Structure 1
Amino acid sequence: MPADEIANHKRALRAELRERRRNKPFVTMERETEQLTAQLKALVGDLRATSLSAYLSAPTEPNTRPFLNWAREAGIRTLLPISRIDGLLDWTTGDGETEIVSHLGWPEAAGELLGPMAIDEVDLILVPASSVDRSGMRLGWGKGYFDKMLGSMGKWPPVFAVLFDDELVDEVPRERHDEPVDGVVTPSRIVPLSKRSKAWGLPEA
């Protein structure tokens, strides 16, 4: 498929997924937040992670905030991304309270900047996504920040995308710069997808 057709396909899929998320009932979001938090805690336990990177979820995304509160209380060092104008992600641990709106319109933590390479020291990376396919290919939201980060890492700890259940699909359109993930976490399950994830002893979904 020509590159312009792939890009158009991606835009159409993202628009459909955004609309689906906007229309999700509040009571469903509340229930799925509780379920997702339990799955994320289980993933941390399964991988014996003592440090991780995650992100502050936007209102229509799977809600990571209760999990982040739990991680802070549990003493798990958590890095949160700060988007830079040059297209890179910087990192901070934040203070658990202060938030800003980034130049991209995303919620971000405020705090001391630790530099882009701080991500190399974590045991687990949690990333947002609009959808992921069964091969592990991730469809992001079109800005390229997380693909660039994953593609430039010196080390590669386990990488899991956080999704709603119906966003794990058979196939997503792929471009050369797109980076895969090792698995997904949804409200109902943890799904290992990469070959190396099979060696981590995660329960099969």
Structure 2
Amino acid sequence: MSTAAQPPWHVDEATVGNPRPRDMSEDKDRLRRQVRARRNHRSARRRAEVAEQLAQVLLTIPEVAAARCVSVYASRPTEPGTGPILDELAARGVRLLMPVLGTGLQRDWAEYAGRDDLRERAPGRPPEPSGPPLGAATLADADVVLVPALAVDVAGGRLGQGGGWYDRVLTHVRPGAPVIALVHEDELLDVVPREPHDLTVTAVATPDGWRRLGPQPDADA
């Protein structure tokens, strides 16, 4: 896949992981505004193409192809679309877990039962399945966890929407299960602003391809 891009904002890399909170928060907000603006300018046709390409890329990831249970989310209109990958995995009989958002930052999961079952339960929230909530710890059943992101860096740093929801739910991921962020090709950067509480992802998928992130096992070890 394409190489990581230079970030479109200035950040002192010495502060990544040990930041000045006010400065890092400003860097995050600036980058969020820039990414959202670019996403808003993509046409409906291009968004549909991205969703189809992303599904095909995801199916080339060995862990996704072999998974029996995958955590995935219903994408919002400007996000890299997850509709086609939901269809592909459901057709293979894969159990699909989707986020159910409770009051505030309450965390829960329910099983996907088809696109027609997804409903927007409250204004501004992503569509959710109607099935019974299974509990936050159910995420440990997932062989692969697909997560949204506004940007990702080569070390696995992930920039989310700012609510911290996924930073909380990812504590329930089963050890060794890959956590894959879905972004556009220009949203894989050399570095994103990161604070100590921000959890990392282990891989990234774009319409152009996928790659593992962060430290890799030594093949000679």
Question: TM-score w.r.t. structure 2 length?
Answer: 0.83
In structure 2, the CA distance between the partners of 1:198 and 1:61, relative to structure 1 (3 Å rule), is farther
Cα distance in 1, alignment partners of residues 131 and 186 from structure 2: 35
Give 2:140's match in structure 1, choosing from 116, 120, 123: 120
Is residue 2:163 matched to residue 1:158?
A: no
Residue 99 of structure 1 corresponds to which residue in structure 2? 118
Gaps of 5+ in 1: 200-205
After superposition, the C-alpha distances for 1:22-47 in whole angstroms (9 at most, x for unaligned) are: 10122322222221110112225666
Tell me which structure has the larger Cα radius of gyration. Answer: 2
Q: Which amino acid counterpart does residue 203 of structure 2 have in structure 1?
A: G
Cα distance in 2, alignment partners of residues 94 and 75 from structure 1: 11
Cα distance in 2, alignment partners of residues 91 and 33 from structure 1: 23
Query: Superposition pairs for residues 62-77 of structure 1, below 5 Å?
Result: 62-77=80-95
Question: TM-score w.r.t. structure 1 length?
Answer: 0.89
Aligned-pair CA distance for 1:195? 3.0
User: Is the CA contact 2:139–2:174 (under 8 Å) kept in the aligned structure 1?
Assistant: no
Q: How many residues align?
A: 199
Residue 2 of structure 1 corresponds to which residue in structure 2? 20
Gaps of 5+ in 2: 1-18
Is residue 2:82 matched to residue 1:39?
A: no
Aligned-CA RMSD value: 2.0
In structure 2, the CA distance between the partners of 1:154 and 1:189, relative to structure 1 (3 Å rule), is closer
1:195 is paired with a residue of what secondary structure? coil
Is residue 2:129 matched to residue 1:109?
A: yes
Residue 81 of structure 1 corresponds to which residue in structure 2? 99
Percent identity of the aligned residues? 34
